[in-house]
Amino acid sequence: MYTNALLTDLYQLTMMQGLFFEGKHNQPCVFDRYYRTNPFKGGYTVVAGLEHLIDYVQNMHFSDDDIYYLKSTNLFKESFLDYLKDMHFTGDIYAMPEGTVAFPQEVLLRIHTTKDESLLLETAMSMIMNHESLIATKARRVRTVAGNDTLMEFGLRRAQGMSAGVYGARSAMIGGFNGTSNVLSGAKFGMPILGTMAHSWIMSFPSELEAFHAYIRQYPNNLILLADTYNTLKQGVPDAITVFQEMKDAGTLPKKFGIRLDSGDLAYLSKEAKKMFDAAGFPDVIISASNDLDEFLISELKLQGCAINSWGVGTHLITAEDSPSLGGVFKLVGQYDGDVFVPKIKMSDNAEKISNPGIKNVYRIYDRESKKMKADIIALEGEKFPTIKNLQLVSDKTPWRSRVIYANSFDVCPMLQPIFQKGKLVYHKPTLAAICDYADEQIQTLWPEYLRLVNPEEMWVQRSSKLSKLRNKILQEESAKFM
């Protein structure tokens, strides 16, 4: 069996071998994971993927089959392959917990370990957190427009592969969804699973009414009837009313009952259906809808007064349709030459690709009274921002603007938590429910302006002056080489 140790780019392994024979593979170094722009042209990113990453790191080892395959490529030497056989993670990882709201350039994860372990983990680590943070962010955008409606993840059949479906459903929960149709996600993560019937159920019976009757014989308590198979308003809704009335008369109507619409104009059909249900004495009917929904369509349908109070979101969520990748990167920010830590930057012809050097944390500034977030400072680990002094904010993106946050009006919270120490997991993994609660709290710290779908206010994120000085110094040294 091949393991996920092979889930990497070839160059990681060729570089590892190169460093091994150059005697540099054991060099301790520090890498940061961060991203450069928010997905969906939005104002934030919801961090997710840490639990998956912890699993990956804990289980990362090469099997005999892996080694046998690598040998067959003729790219690797025996002594290096012997070395790989015993490799496992021995370093430290610090990360933002799942559900944290984050912003461009911020350190989401920092890893202190040997260079070869860093290389080996980079690809899978980036992939896992890029993917899951992306879907959690998309889900949160949907939640911000859906109010307290029920949100269901329905995307498995359009997901980009199995893991996209399974981990995507979990990420959707972190982004504020109520459940998924994906049974494997339910099993793996203890998530609520939801669903009733498809058109093929209706078509398995001589008539829609018979199909509804058959369904309630089997599931008298799971009563969302699919109403659009033949003709929503002429048949589906009247048939549903017939069934609900029969159950009401028999005293068996459950508290939650309703219909699902999967085609046609959802605003019009839901409003008309609601009128029919109201007239028939069923004002508490659930009207759920699916069919290529996303945050923009839900928002518009609501503006048009639709009567939908439960949404099944599939393709657009599970693929992050309008922005299907998060450009998270993993960059060397320093290494130890002997005992001396040497901060590093990645130079580039593209200005936005130049990284922040050194061992850093993100310090979040909250307004003490409103509990809302005011700014993030990317600073060297251990820098202090005493709350008893005024805090001067000067963004180096917009150095002509500055802000003072007055003493005793704010709190400071470092955002990275220790996850692994010397290869051992030291993080107490929260339950999914706890992660979802934390994610909700995190979103509450943002004013609505930052949550806007289009053209949101940009969060104030700046380097500390110490970090700026360090970065400029290294930039000058590097660029001096080409004068």
Interface with its own copies in residues 137-166 (CB under 8 A):
154, 156-166
Q: Which is nearer to its own copies, 119 or 298 (CB)?
A: 119
Report, in Å, the least distance between residue 152 CB and its own copies: 10
Q: Which is nearer to its own copies, 59 or 390 (CB)?
A: 59
Report, in Å, the least distance between residue 159 CB and its own copies: 6
Query: Which residues between 300 and 339 bind its own copies (CB under 8 A)?
Result: 315, 319-321, 324-328, 330-332, 335
Query: Which residues between 453 and 482 bind its own copies (CB under 8 A)?
Result: 478, 481-482
The pair of structure tokens assigned to 412 is: 């400071």
Distances (CA, A) of 157 to 19, 161, 229, 328: 43, 9, 20, 26
Report, in Å, the least distance between residue 359 CB and its own copies: 16
Report, in Å, the least distance between residue 345 CB and its own copies: 9
CA distance 16 to 330: 16
Confirm if 428 and 407 have CB atoms less than 8 A apart.
no
Sole binder of its own copies in the list 134, 298, 415, 470 (CB under 8 A) = 134
Query: Which residues between 192 and 221 bind its own copies (CB under 8 A)?
Result: 193-201, 203-204, 214-215, 217-219
Sole binder of its own copies in the list 38, 105, 114, 232 (CB under 8 A) = 232
Three-class secondary structure of residue 356 per DSSP: coil
Report, in Å, the least distance between residue 87 CB and its own copies: 15
Report, in Å, the least distance between residue 194 CB and its own copies: 6
Sole binder of its own copies in the list 79, 231, 252, 472 (CB under 8 A) = 231
CA distance 103 to 43: 8
Sole binder of its own copies in the list 4, 26, 59, 252 (CB under 8 A) = 4
Confirm if 35 and 326 have CB atoms less than 8 A apart.
yes
CA distance 288 to 285: 9
Report, in Å, the least distance between residue 123 CB and its own copies: 5
Which of 141-149, 232-240, 382-390, 442-450 is the region at the interface with its own copies (rule: CB under 8 A)? 232-240
85 near its own copies (CB under 8 A): no
Tell me the per-residue interface mask from 238 to 267 with its own copies, x by CB under 8 A, - otherwise.
Answer: -------------------------xxx--
CA distance 154 to 318: 8
CA distance 178 to 256: 15
Query: Which residues between 332 and 391 bind its own copies (CB under 8 A)?
Result: 332, 335, 344, 346-350, 353
The pair of structure tokens assigned to 28 is: 């301790």
Query: Which residues between 385 and 424 bind its own copies (CB under 8 A)?
Result: none
Report, in Å, the least distance between residue 473 CB and its own copies: 16
Sole binder of its own copies in the list 41, 188, 389, 401 (CB under 8 A) = 188
The pair of structure tokens assigned to 400 is: 């002509």
Query: What is the CB neighbour count within 10 angstroms for residue 431?
Result: 10
Query: Which residues between 35 and 64 bind its own copies (CB under 8 A)?
Result: none
Which H/E stretch holds residue 343? strand 340-343
Tell me the per-residue interface mask from 86 to 125 with its own copies, x by CB under 8 A, - otherwise.
Answer: -----------------------------x--xx--xxx-
Report, in Å, the least distance between residue 182 CB and its own copies: 7
Which H/E stretch holds residue 252? none
Report, in Å, the least distance between residue 382 CB and its own copies: 24
Q: Which is nearer to its own copies, 217 or 255 (CB)?
A: 217
Give me the sign of the Cα torsion angle 161, 167, 169, 174.
Answer: negative
Closest CA to 474 of 369, 363, 356: 356
First to last CA, the chain: 53
Sole binder of its own copies in the list 2, 305, 336, 399 (CB under 8 A) = 2
**Binding residues for its own copies, total number by CB under 8 A:** 111
Q: Which is nearer to its own copies, 272 or 367 (CB)?
A: 272
CA distance 36 to 24: 30
Please name the residue ranges forming H helices in 255-392.
266-279, 295-303, 315-318
Which of 91-99, 183-191, 298-306, 387-395 is the region at the interface with its own copies (rule: CB under 8 A)? 183-191
Q: Which is nearer to its own copies, 70 or 365 (CB)?
A: 70
Sole binder of its own copies in the list 104, 186, 220, 423 (CB under 8 A) = 186
Q: How far is CA 76 from the centre of its chain?
A: 36
Strand 286-289 with 310-313, pairing:
parallel
Q: At what angle do helices 64-72 and 78-85 cross, to 10 degrees?
A: 160
- Only one residue has tokens 């042209």, namely 41
Q: Is 41 left (phi over 0), alpha (psi -120 to 50) or beta?
A: left
